[in-house]
Structure 1
């Protein structure tokens, strides 16, 4: 196979092949070390954190509905009451990042007068975590409310209906077209 090569080239090829074999063996050994299991543990923790976040968001939505129901029930003449809030989006958390971005611009000219410009850019973002491996949060955006439905036995009275309508708008800081009041 290497008959046409001189002795120097053969040594280079054999050195590269032996280096490749050593690297392959090192990769196999490293993947078997306990550190490889830590990566899967981190992935499991991330999945668990995601499901915990979804559960806490659902609890937060229920709390908001209960608070609104409690406050609306105090309005005179409302009677029996049910409240449902729909959300356009869930709570959004913006974590802190360390970011590095680099841009390289290379201009090449050949002997025939041709020009070529090559621009290479890269960006590296790393999430900043606390000592408990949770992300450091810069900002949390509240979930966006899509609409509110209120069903009340006292809504047959126009004054009570208007009071409920205004109270929902003020309490949740939403527009009137997002609120519907019905008679129970």
Structure 2
């Protein structure tokens, strides 16, 4: 339908002013909708960024909690084992760890070897060998985030243990405690210190 013909029909009916008023109101409404959608998008983007920062902070706190949970579990298990030994009463332990948890990511390894043999005019040959070694961490998609694909998590290594126990004034019992801790954590005996608990 032609727009000019529509206006002429409206003029004949005397509705030209009303038509222009309706058209202006519609244009203003569309303009308001566009402006409000722009502000809404900016606010939602800001909220999304704030949520992402908050989840990152929660993950960092979660990692620290996991480490302390692992340490606490090790302490509790060691206390239980040592207090079960004949002659050992109450036990307190302190365990030193080398580092925190270590995550081992999956790697995409791309190794290639190319050999080129060149002959010169004098009859000599030269062989060129070129090796390309490339490693890339494999990522997995979690929502809109790319995170490394973790194959395994290595617990922190124990580097030393201090044991304070009732009955540790007995040298034979002290030796049994030292041997037990040394074998449990696969550390040398000189890294295990056993002391008697004060009475």
TM-score tier by shorter-chain length is 0.5 to 0.7
Alignment-derived partner of residue 84 in structure 2:
74
* CA distance in 2: counterparts of 1:62 and 1:147, whole angstroms: 15
Distance 1:159 1:134, change over 3 A: farther
CA deviation string 1:59-107 (max 9, x = no partner)? 211111000000011111112211111112111123447799xxxxxxx
TM-score (norm 1): 0.61
| Residue aligning to 2:184 | 171
Residue 128 in structure 1 maps to residue 104 in structure 2 = no
For 1:134 and 1:153, the matched residues in 2 are separated by 52
Matched, 1:57 2:67: yes
Find the partner of 1:160 among 173, 184, 191. Answer: 173
Report the equivalent of 1:182. 195
CA RMSD across the alignment = 3.3
Q: In the aligned structure 2, how far is the partner of 1:57 from the partner of 1:35?
A: 34
Secondary structure of 1:154's counterpart equals coil
Q: Does the 8 Å CA contact 2:139/2:146 hold for their aligned counterparts?
A: no
CA distance in 2, matches of 1:64, 1:89: 15
Q: Distance in 1 between matches of 2:53 and 2:108?
A: 21
Q: Which structure has the larger Rg over C-alpha atoms?
A: 2
User: Is this contact kept in 2: 1:98–1:125, CA < 8 A?
Assistant: yes
Deviation at 1:149, TM superposition (A): 0.3
Distance 1:73 1:180, change over 3 A: same
Change (3 A) 1:30 1:131: closer
Q: How much has 1:40 moved relative to structure 2?
A: 3.2
| Paired positions, count | 135
3-state SS of paired residue (1:34):
helix
Report how far residue 133 of structure 1 moved.
6.1
1:1-184 alignment, distance < 5 Å: 32=42, 34-96=44-106, 127-130=139-142, 135=147, 136-184=149-197
Distance 2:99 2:50 in 1: 30
1: CA distance, partners of 2:157 / 2:82 = 21
- Per the normalisation by structure 2, the TM-score is 0.57
